[in-house]
Structure 1
Amino acid sequence: MNQWFQYRSNLRSQNTRGSAVDQVLFQGLTRACSIGEVGVTTSCNEPGCALCHVLRCDFVDGHHRKVGYWGRGIYTTTASNKADHFANNTSSQSRCGVVLLHKVLVGKRAELGYKDTNLRQPPIGYNSVDALTSDQGGVVKYSEVIVYRDDAILPWIMIVYNI
């Protein structure tokens, strides 16, 4: 968590326009345990449980990263329904969905309307990628914000809902 605050401080010191450097965004992840179910409040150590890896701020193994339209990054969205689409339960017995709200350090965003699956970092001079939606001339229906640094994302709230 200290790394997130340090990175936020660095972004704020570079921010000459006075715009916000952070944003609250949703993320849906694979859940391989029962965290969030009634009475289950402890994260698991299952290798396939990306949700618990992220809740422990364990970003080393890459469970939170995926290769998408904008390369290998941490994909978040302003749209809860899009996060729900990626919130997979590997346990067929679960009747709950889980998405996370993160505090994301977006900094200076590169607005991209085209796919670039080779990205491993934002374009030079930027801190994140803001994928333009189809009504903005882009290729996605709902917003996506991609960061490429582990210290740019801080799990904040876990939302549990009936499915």
Structure 2
Amino acid sequence: MKAFIRGVIPTLLLITTCMVDIPIFPLDLVPEAQAIFGVRRRTAVVAYSAGKSSGAAAASASQQQAAAAQQQAAMAEQEAAAAKQQAAIAQQQATGVQATSGAPLGTVIEVLPSGCVPVTVGKTQYQKCDSTFYRAAFMGNKLVYVAVENPLQ
């Protein structure tokens, strides 16, 4: 009998404490949270945390907008650099400036010819294909090779 009572009393206490939180039952142990000194109301805490999360969401949205603007600026800069490089190539081709006996200076190729040898001058690496030197460059996000003057001279 004592074991039964030891099991029933905690169960009844648990059920009673759960019923206090259910709004259907009119049972209130403390009618207002303000009645207890030092206890904040739950609504104030919820409102504060909701305000804090909306502020964080706004900050996140502004960071995303800033990142998108920065990415667009980088894309525009890449396009401007590609246009400038193409204009330089066209100008060099118009003047007829050429390397000693290879491709015209500023010629852009996507794949190196076979038999190229890497040559490092300073901290820049060139590819020597026959008598033409190529330097690796990016056009947009694509790796290309540009014919340059002989860096060994």
The answer to whether TM tops 0.5 is no
Taking structure 1 as the reference length, what is the TM-score of the superposition?
A: 0.18
Choose between structure 1 and 2: higher strand proportion: 1
Taking structure 2 as the reference length, what is the TM-score of the superposition?
A: 0.19
- Which structure's relative contact order is higher, taking Cα pairs within 8 Å and 6+ residues apart? 1
